[in-house]
Amino acid sequence: MGSSDTPDARDAPGTPDAAASRFTGRTAASWRPLSATLTEVSLDDGRTVMVKHGDQPDALRAEAAGLRWLAAAGTVRIPAVHGHDGRWLVTERVPAGRPSEQAAVRFGRDLAALHAAGAPAFGAPPPGGPEGAYIGLAPMRNAPGSDWPRWYAEHRVLPYLRRAVDAGTLRAAEAAAVEGVLDRLPELAGPAEPPARLHGDLWNGNVLWGADGQVRLIDPAAHGGHRETDLAMLHLFGCPYLERVLAGYQEVAPLADGWTERIGLHQLFPLLVHAVLFGRGYAEQALAVARAAGR
């Protein structure tokens, strides 16, 4: 049995090995938990798969749709999706390797090609993906828009800015600094770009350096967006051989002048998400970015 999806998981067996067997058609030989939500399962045919458990059905649905949409571009390699339902997602396991300059350059080239595969609109979800998606543990609304500055402000930055203020993580007076930058986004955003096919949560933990010398991407928050957003995420949390990744990217799709000065604008959303989830330290980073961008 190949890849399959089950729309309703109420009657689905409740263990990772059972989920792996259901979506691959093979018997689970052994398994080991890697975290509270992720289990590595070895099958009787010698393959190993990753089984993720979740309590938010839309989160797994969005992740599976995102993985398939990114894979459909035929650029950066993406682990195959064996199947998913409202509680379980079963994907191919990526044998781990070490980062290298050669793999980094190839990753940059492939990432540029992925972005160029495009999307119907800013905020467009992957085919089959829900409007109410997630970035990590945080909800993220995929509502299409035609104008990036307006869409980014309304559907990415402002919802988390308001949540941070409501939670007391940011004071209202501090939030004004971010709002001022959003008011100026049309002039700060640089040349207009077409909607790119984004991974959407491209921090280093979601970049897997495979044993075959090729990068795979996991855990996407995929949507149509601005291509500089993925690159800003790589800068925010670091990435091995980042300069080589960027060199490969620029070979295929040169970035608009001044893009490095706009990195902070694209980091506002993930920083505010982290501020809501993890506290004041990230709020202070968001404020620093906003104040620098507003000068």
- Cα separation of 258 and 260, whole Å? 6
Residues 42-48, mean pLDDT to the nearest whole number? 95
Residue 9's pLDDT is 37
Q: Which CATH code of 3.90.1200.10, 3.30.70.141, 1.10.10.10, 3.40.720.10 fits the domain covering 101-293?
A: 3.90.1200.10
Q: What residue ranges do the domains of the chain occupy?
A: 4-92, 101-293
pLDDT at residue 264 above 80?
A: yes
pLDDT at residue 116 above 80?
A: yes
- Cα separation of 269 and 87, whole Å? 28
What does the buried/exposed string (b/e) look like for 91-109 if buried means 16 or more CB atoms within 10 Å of the residue's CB?
A: bbbbeeeebeeebbbbbbb
CATH homologous superfamily of 4-92: Phosphorylase Kinase; domain 1 (3.30.200.20)
Average predicted confidence (pLDDT) for the chain: 93
Q: Which residue has the higher pLDDT, 28 or 11?
A: 28
Cα–Cα distance list, 91 to 3, 24, 63, 136, 254 (Å): 10, 10, 11, 17, 33
Cα–Cα distance list, 139 to 132, 208, 212 (Å): 7, 24, 34
Residue 13's pLDDT is 53
Asked if residue 98 lies in contact with residue 239, where contact means CB atoms within 8 angstroms, the answer is: no
Encode pLDDT of 169-186 as tens digits.
999 999 999 999 999 999
Q: Which residue has the higher pLDDT, 13 or 95?
A: 95
Q: Which among 93, 135, 150 is positioned nearest to 230, based on CA atoms?
A: 135
Contacts of 169 (CB under 8 A, 6+ apart): 275, 276, 279, 280, 283
Handedness of CA 71, 37, 55, 10 (dihedral sign): positive
Structure-token pair, residue 151 = 């869409």
Q: Give 231: exposed, middle or buried? Use CB within 10 Å, 0-12, 13-18, 19+.
A: buried
Question: What counts of helices (H) and strands (E) characterise the chain?
Answer: 11, 12
Cα–Cα distance list, 78 to 54, 62, 157 (Å): 20, 15, 28
pTM above threshold 0.95: no
Residues 227-235, mean pLDDT to the nearest whole number? 97
CA dihedral 34, 37, 38, 43 (to 10 degrees): 110
User: If pLDDT is split at 50, 70 and 90, which confidence band does 4 have?
Assistant: very low
